[in-house]
Chain A
Amino acid sequence: MKNLKLFGGIAVGLGLIGLSGSVIVPARLMSQTQLVQRMIPYNAETATLTGDVGTPVGEPQQMIITEEAAFLPGKSEFGANLVNDNYLKEKGIYPLQVKTVNFIAGPVRLGAGIAIVVGIGILLWVNGPLRRKVVGG
């Protein structure tokens, strides 16, 4: 019974840590996100020739990029900040995507919620009236 109580306590504790982490971490990351369009910039001569900035890589996307040097002047036609894809590759930067954060945060929240419910259930069972009723009865 002591072990069960300990298990319940750990489940609630880990659940609370997981739940708060899955709320706080994405919230902090989201504050750094911006709409970004990665771009392979043309050199000055080719830009003059074509009238374009460069070749877009992928679609505009919400990303977390903190390196100021990665940004190119101007914005895309969709209002996204232009980012130099060559720079990201050179520096080995693989930007974090908002959809990845959400993809991970969702199951973590669910798992943490289940752990809390199960942990509270165990603690109620061990200490609470439910056990007294069943065991006593």
Chain B
Amino acid sequence: MQIKHLAPFTLAALMITSALAHNMKFTVGNAGGMKASQVFTFDSDADFENFTGLTHKVTGSINFDPKTGNGGGRIVVDIASIDTGIALRNEHLRSDMWFNAEKFPQAVFEATSVKRKGGDKYEITGKLTVHGVTKTIKTEAAAKYIKENEATRKAMFVGDVINLKTSFKVKLADFGVMIPGPAKGKVAETITVKLNVFGYTG
């Protein structure tokens, strides 16, 4: 009798396990000798000039089911390594006047919902944490899944590969980052964040 009652639960558990088994885990980082580099940028389009902050120090993991398009993940960006092309500006950016890299060394994006929009296009909702402030954001992304083959091996990837690209706007004040007076007109109040990362299953 007890076994009879448990049967549906066992079946459900098996189905869930089976569904989870399709979710592949991709590691994002520069390990494994892979030749492609992770790229995180933010673009500032101000009156005086445009500039880009850039770092290759992007790590994390992506869970992704190539068949259903379901997934999630966590991407971590090292704030202190962001380079804007001018050493003094980098110092200002890391300082407590701006991103306070000592206190908040990482920017983190955690995907909470992924919806396939068609083809390689996805709608991702997640929590972005910058400067100790967390906000929910929604963005569009392109995710290209490449099963392990000769080309992935030549590019020094280990296992299957996923290439994730996304771009979204961030209003600095929303994350408690205020532009100091002397920098007004030189730094945009809203920056465009872009991510182009590769993950591999290993």
Which of A45, A48, A94 contacts B85, CB < 8 Å?
A: A94
Return the 8 tightest CB-CB contacts between A and B, nearest first. Answer: A45-B155, A46-B36, A55-B39, A58-B52, A55-B196, A49-B151, A45-B154, A100-B49
Do A103 and B35 contact each other (CB < 8 Å), given the known contacts A50-B163, A57-B54, A89-B85?
A: no
CB distance from A61 to the nearest CB of B (A): 6
B95 adjacent to chain A (CB < 8 Å): no
Kindly specify which of B40-48, B67-75, B98-106, B124-132 makes contact with the partner chain: B40-48
Q: Which of B119-146 contact A (CB under 8 A)?
A: 144, 146
Which of A42, A49, A99 contacts B50, CB < 8 Å?
A: A99
Q: Across the interface, do B154 and A103 meet the contact criterion of CB distance under 8 Å?
A: no
Please give the residue numbers on chain A whose beta carbons come within 8 Å of chain B beta carbons, in ascending order: 38, 40, 42-43, 45-46, 48-50, 55, 57-59, 61, 85, 88-89, 94, 97, 99-100, 103
Contacts of A46 in B (CB 8 A): 35-36, 155
B76 adjacent to chain A (CB < 8 Å): no
Contacts of B37 in A (CB 8 A): 40
Contacts of A55 in B (CB 8 A): 39, 41, 196
Which of B41, B47, B151, B196 contacts A103, CB < 8 Å?
A: B47
Q: Which of B135-180 contact A (CB under 8 A)?
A: 144, 146, 151-152, 154-157, 161, 163
Q: Which of B18-53 contact A (CB under 8 A)?
A: 35-37, 39, 41, 43, 45, 47-52
Please give the residue numbers on chain B whose beta carbons come within 8 Å of chain A beta carbons, in ascending order: 35-37, 39, 41, 43, 45, 47-52, 54, 83, 85-86, 144, 146, 151-152, 154-157, 161, 163, 196
Which of B39, B52, B155 contacts A49, CB < 8 Å?
A: B155
Contacts of B196 in A (CB 8 A): 55
Could you name 9 residue pairs across A and B whose Cβ atoms are closer than 8 Å? Answer: A38-B52, A45-B154, A45-B156, A48-B151, A49-B151, A55-B196, A85-B54, A94-B86, A103-B48
Do A99 and B49 contact each other (CB < 8 Å), given the known contacts A46-B155, A59-B43, A94-B85?
A: yes
Q: Across the interface, do A50 and B49 meet the contact criterion of CB distance under 8 Å?
A: no
Which residue of B is nearest A88, CB measured? B85
Contacts of B86 in A (CB 8 A): 94
CB distance from B198 to the nearest CB of A (A): 8
Contacts of A99 in B (CB 8 A): 47-50
Q: Across the interface, do B154 and A48 meet the contact criterion of CB distance under 8 Å?
A: yes
Q: Across the interface, do A43 and B36 meet the contact criterion of CB distance under 8 Å?
A: yes
Known: A43-B35, A99-B50. 20 other contacts (CB 8 A): A40-B54, A45-B35, A45-B154, A45-B155, A46-B36, A46-B155, A49-B36, A49-B146, A49-B152, A49-B154, A50-B144, A55-B41, A57-B41, A57-B54, A58-B43, A58-B51, A59-B50, A99-B49, A100-B48, A103-B48
